[in-house]
Structure 1
Amino acid sequence: MEKTLGFSNFLTQVDPVGMSVLILLLALSVASWYLIITKSISNTIASRRAKAFLKHFWRIDSVPQLKAEIGAMTENHAFVQLAKTALTSTANSQRHGLEKLATAGDTNELLTRSLRNSLDQEAARIEYGLTIIASAGSSAPYIGLFGTVWGIYHALIQIGLSGQGTLDKVAGPVGEALIMTALGLAVAIPAVLAYNAFIRRNRLWMAQLDDFAHDLYTIMTTGSKSSEENNQKAPAPVTSQHAQTAESSSTPVGITHGERQH
């Protein structure tokens, strides 16, 4: 009876080293797909909540109403947390006065630091899991290639011991060993695509948060939500350290994004 070749036969013939490579590729695949699915779902939900929040936020007419409604919100996404941070920092500085802030700067500087810290925390949060996805995308092809090389070596040793070195005896085991390379690519390609997509999404997300932080800074320092007044009175925006670029030494606290357009 002719011997059946394929993945099932490869599994029965694989040695402990090859099995270890298979298990490692499987673990990388499971971990990367888990992160891809969960992060995609959480990013979609966060974007929808942020869109609804911003739509509601810009319908609020006054700062007192803003304080009342933001304080009553139980949502926990980044935009709400940023707004609560701005309100809390402003309220604390007004409650305790500037005497206790003498070593740290005035109210505006306190607000700037608080918003920047909140942005940095969000930047760290959204980067969770990306290291594993990047590791899977970069290392899986090499792990699969190692499995292929080891499988070919193992197959050639067995063929040499059997004394049957014809092409039909060599092609089967060598072809089966190439399955490792295919598995490595199957793990790496989705991970690389997902990593690039998440990086782009995170960059856009942080840009939106930077813009919102600028708006909050303007509202808290001028007490106005008027676009015309904001353009005239708004100081430099608050920007996370992850998004900062080189500016001249005369740039105020925070890094500007250029002309604000409302």
Structure 2
Amino acid sequence: MPVYGITHVWAQGDAMTRAVALLLIAMSILSWSVIVLKAIELGRLCRCTESRFWNTDGLGSGMRALGEPGTPFFDLASTGQAAMLHHAASHGGIELSDWLLRSLRASVDDTATRLQRGLGLLASIGSTAPFVGLLGTVWGIYHALLSLGVSGDASLDRVAGPVGEALIMTALGLCVAIPAVLGYNTLARLSRGVVARLDRFSHGLHALLLTGGRPSAAAMPGVVTKERA
């Protein structure tokens, strides 16, 4: 009596069965790579404390408190500073508040787009992996029934083994899809949290650059600002 299992599926499978198995393995590797890389990136951003910006004595020292160039909060502050200099050099043409708001909004949108990279791949894998596994199952059952028809032996032990073995593909598809869906939901929630923090920071930065005064604590939830002398 043959011993059924994953190794038997691979050994006895045809090109279609092996292609489905390899595709599921590739999808699993891709999804886990995206999950790990995005988790590291978002974890680093979640640990950023933009509140330190408001407890400094000026824009320059505040930007140094935000970290290094390339981080979203530093880039947002740098964009605001560059927008002010550009407006002063161009001698108007558009209201300063509108120009600054547009520049800050564009920076936030760019960061939001960058944070979404890879999440579309996770969503696609999570939605298609079960169907890829189902394709392998249907193909395996089809060949199992053909083999039974040729042999003429339709006893339970001859039917249950090949059919149950074919269902392994569906199980593999679910094993690929479930982490991808859970990873997508978690990473999407974390990225939305970072973008919300950037939005609040941009509003406070807009007020600071226009008026020279820091926003009140009520206008910046979760941020404790240092009183100005």
TM-score scaled by length of structure 1: 0.79
Residues 141 and 185 in structure 1, CA contact (< 8 A), matched pair in contact too:
yes
Q: Report the AA paired with residue 82 of structure 1.
A: L
Q: Aligned letter for 1:154?
A: H
- Report the 3-state secondary structure (helix = DSSP H, G, I; strand = E; otherwise coil) of the residue aligned with 1:75: coil
Counterpart of 1:66 in structure 2 is 59
Percentage of pairs with the same residue:
42
Contact 2:126–2:178 (8 Å) recurs in 1: yes
CA distance, structure 2, for counterparts of residue 225 and residue 76 of structure 1: 24
- The one-character-per-residue Cα deviations of 1:210-235 (angstroms, maximum 9, x if unpaired) are 1000000000111011527xx7xxxx
Question: Residues of 1 paired with 2:215 and 2:141: CA distance?
Answer: 71
Write the distance in 1 (CA, Å) between the matches of 2:105 and 2:62. 23
Name the CA shift for 1:6/1:183 in 2 (closer, same or farther; >3 Å): same
1:201 alignment partner AA: L
- Pairing 1:196-215 to 2, within 5 Å after superposition: 196-215=185-204
Partner of 2:146: 157
* Amino acid corresponding to residue 79 of structure 1 in structure 2: F
Count of aligned pairs? 221
The 3 A distance-change label for structure 1 pair 97 and 68 is farther
Deviation at 1:75, TM superposition (A): 3.5
C-alpha contact (below 8 Å) 2:123/2:184 kept by paired residues? yes
Instruction: Trace 1:241-260 onto structure 2 (pairs within 5 A).
Output: none
1:167 correspondence with 2:156: yes
Shift of 1:20: 1.1
Match of 1:56 among 28, 52, 56: 52
* Structure 1 pair 42–226 and aligned structure 2 pair: CA distance change class (3 A): closer
Q: Which of 75, 83, 90 does residue 77 from structure 2 map onto?
A: 83
1:169 Cα deviation from its structure 2 partner: 0.6
Across the aligned residues of Structure 1 and Structure 2, the Cα RMSD in angstroms comes to 1.9
Match of 1:35 in 2: 34
- Give SS of 1:165's match: coil
Aligned match of 1:190 in 151, 175, 179?
179
Matched residues in 1 for 2:165 and 2:151: separation? Answer: 18
2:10 partner SS: helix
Distance 1:15 1:130 in 2: 33
Q: Which residue of 2 aligns with 1:242?
A: none
Distance 1:21-1:128 versus aligned 2 partners, 3 A rule: same
Contact in 2 for aligned 1:67/1:87 (Cα 8 Å): no
Following superposition, the deviation at residue 68 of structure 1 comes to 5.2
Q: 2: distance between equivalents of 1:185 and 1:226?
A: 49
| Distance (Å, rounded) in 2 between the aligned partners of 1:180 and 1:131 | 24
Q: Deviations over 1:24-78 (max 9, x none)?
A: 1111111111000110011111222x22xx24212112xxx31355279633210
Higher relative contact order (CA 8 A, sep 6+): 2
Query: Against the structure 1 CA distance between its residues 122 and 68, is the aligned structure 2 distance closer, same or farther, given a 3 Å change threshold?
Result: same
Taking structure 2 as the reference length, the TM-score comes to 0.90
Q: 2:103: which partner in 1? A: 114
CA contact (8 A) 1:119 1:210 kept: yes
* Whole-angstrom CA distance in 1 between matches of 2:215 and 2:193: 25
Distance 1:68 1:191 in 2: 41
